[in-house]
Amino acid sequence: MNLFNLRDFQDVALEKLDPVYYDYFAGGAQDEVTVQANEAAFRRLSLVPRVLRGAGRPELGGALLGQATSMPVLLAPTAFHRLAHPAGEVETARAAAEAGVIMMAAMLSTVAVEEVAATGATLWFQLYLQPDLGFTESLVRRAEEAGCKALVVTVDSPALGRNERGDRNDFHDLPAGMSCPNLRGDGDVGQVVLSPEFSWRHVDWLRGITSLPIVLKGILHPADAALAVEHGAAAVIVSNHGGRQLDTMPPTIDRLPLIADAVRGQVPLLLDGGVRRGTDVIKALALGAQAVAIGRPVMWGLSVAGAAGVAKVLSLLRAELVNALTICGVAAPGEVPRDLVVP
């Protein structure tokens, strides 16, 4: 593939995807201010490398919540992969397994979690808590039995964001023959139910029914990050849902230092939103993250060339990260100093 960076993949995906599906993946809430701000915020930050460090070639491997990963990059949970490729999440998972990175499998997957797990990829299962707690528990049991290593609870969605691209395209249902098999419990639940009734007591309830680590995704306020630690979260993902929920939320990279100060190293921090370059990964590591997650670039890779496209996206990001760490004089992701980044 004659593609040289993650944005190249987006350009090709624009040509290959049905325009309605492209808009679904690319779009965000209302004016999409936050979508654009996530990427722009990384560009505002500068790297100040150290020289003559004798650091050698960087080693990217490590572990998150006890799971090995070949680099500090995960696949963020994204819905409806079969809109981008006929095999959907299976192709994505194959690429994750090949690359040795963790995939957060979405509750709104178009392939059942059991089938995704059969690829051998290391999976965390993303979960929207449902008002029917019995059904929620049945999903947790399926994730456990499939071998998922953590639960990623999306906490920033008491209601669905207003996506005007989707409204203009009248895209509100999956095409015929496509479904979300994770939503089939004892009956056939066809829709995720979002509710403003959820609170920290539901996090406590979830901790009481599973031994899996619970990762809370969608935290932007330092006080909420501190509460997450108090309520037993194993990790926190600093996320604004890729700008898809509430428009004009601040970029995640701008919030990361505040949340890192609030958490004080008690649990790992991850970040998603706007990561498009290896230099973006370094900036997140410097400001307090242990790893980042990418969402839209995975969908661009999937739509361009299936598993090979996702693998290429990850390979490009890996090469950029190695190059940037080398030039900055840093031997490993965990050794990136905070003063490497300046406004």
**CATH code (residue 46):** 3.20.20.70
Q: How many domains does the chain have?
A: 1
Q: Residue 339 class from Cβ within 10 Å (0-12 exposed, 13-18 middle, 19+ buried)?
A: exposed
pLDDT for the residue numbered 184: 64
For residue 341, being part of any structural domain is answered with no
pLDDT for the residue numbered 188: 46
- Sorted by sequence, the CB contacts under 8 Å of residue 206 that are 6+ apart come out as 129, 136, 140, 151, 153, 214
For residue 343, being part of any structural domain is answered with no
pLDDT mean across residues, the chain: 96
Q: Is 9 strand, coil or helix?
A: helix
Q: Is the pLDDT of residue 30 over 90?
A: yes
For residue 302, being part of any structural domain is answered with yes
- Cα torsion 312, 174, 103, 258 to 10°: value is 100
Cβ count within 10 A of residue 224: 17
For residue 323, being part of any structural domain is answered with yes
For residue 269, list its beta bridge partners: 236
Convert the pLDDT of each residue in 146-185 to its tens digit: 999 999 999 999 999 999 999 999 998 899 999 999 996 4
| Average pLDDT of the segment spanning 287-312 | 98
For residue 154, being part of any structural domain is answered with yes
159: containing domain: 6-336
Can you read off the two tokens belonging to residue 277?
A: 């370059």
d(CA 15, CA 294): 21
DSSP annotation string for 200-247: HHHHHHHHHH--S-EEEEEE-SHHHHHHHHHTT-SEEEE--GGGTSST
Convert the pLDDT of each residue in 68-127 to its tens digit: 999 999 999 999 999 999 999 999 999 999 999 999 999 999 999 999 999 999 999 999
- Cα torsion 96, 28, 253, 228 to 10°: value is -80
For residue 1, being part of any structural domain is answered with no
Is residue 241 flagged as an active site residue?
yes
Task: Give how far the C-alpha of residue 238 lies from the chain's centroid of Cα atoms, to the nearest Å.
Answer: 10
For residue 112, being part of any structural domain is answered with yes
- The residue from 81, 85, 202, 241 that is catalytic is 241
